Chains A and B, each alone.
Chain A
Amino acid sequence: DAGITQSPRHKVTETGTPVTLRCHQTENHRYMYWYRQDPGHGLRLIHYSYGVKDTDKGEVSDGYSVSRSKTEDFLLTLESATSSQTSVYFCAITSTGGGTEAFFGQGTRLTVV
């Protein structure tokens, strides 16, 4: 299994609070991604990173920010959580971008009440 660890694995938070999810990899892969998965929508890209301090928006980036200060860590922050952000969040890594195999973490189940 690819060395990807997401934390926390489960979280319940209140509307309006900030939340940070962490993705840690031990594969030294350049590209890291955050996806959310919702019934009827599948996996949707939130943000991705193509190097330390290099990030860009995905399909559903509103309300989210990311940071990558080290190769191994990619943080996703919900600036002010809303109920619509209740979802399962997955981190993924690839070695050379979209044309190579992506490996996923086990997911973080976030509930905003």
Chain B
Amino acid sequence: QKEVEQDPGPLSVPEGAIVSLNCTYSNSAFQYFMWYRQYSRKGPELLMYTYSSGNKEDGRFTAQVDKSSKYISLFIRDSQPSDSATYLCAMANSGYALNFGKGTSLLVTP
């Protein structure tokens, strides 16, 4: 079993919808949680960074971490066609490298 599980989708929503993206993980030592957005044929770009449990909000994006359930979420409010991309969750303990989910493909239709 991979340490980080993420549903690959694809997920298709109409413009303006609230999008919920999720990852589960098995390593209770993970403390740092990130979401990356990747457009086609581009490198991943950091979207949200969270340490430990709790919520973090940045504009239309909200990241939630529930360490007791080993579950993290990314919510996108008022989704736009420009949000169409692959979203990758990533997490780490105090070690050297990130552990990535496989990514969820999101399509927001006008």
Interface residues of A (CB under 8 A from B): 31, 33, 40-45, 48, 50, 56, 58, 90, 97-107
Residues of the A chain whose Cβ atoms lie less than 8 Å from the Cβ of B93: 98-99
Closest to B48 in A: A101
B92 at the interface (CB under 8 A from A): yes
A40-B46 CB under 8 A given contacts A31-B96, A98-B93, A99-B31: no
**Contacts of A105 on B, CB cut-off 8 Å?**
43
- B residues within 8 Å of A by Cβ? 6, 8, 31-32, 34, 36, 41-46, 49, 51, 88, 90, 92-98, 100-103
Contacts between the two chains (Cβ within 8 Å), count: 62
Overall SS of chain B's interface: loop
Contact between chains at B43 and A102 (CB < 8 Å)? no
* Interfacial chain A residues near B6, Cβ < 8 Å: 42
Q: Residue of A at shortest CB range from B6?
A: A42
Interface centre among A41, A99, A100 (most CB of B within 10 A): A99
Q: How far is the CA of A60 from the CA of B43 in the complex (A)?
A: 20
Task: Tell me the bound Cα distance from A100 to B95 in angstroms.
Answer: 10
- Would B98 and A102 count as touching, CB distance under 8 A? yes
A42 touches B101 (CB 8 A): yes
New A-B pairs, 6, CB < 8 Å, besides A99-B94, A106-B42, A107-B41 = A40-B102, A45-B97, A98-B32, A98-B94, A99-B93, A103-B46
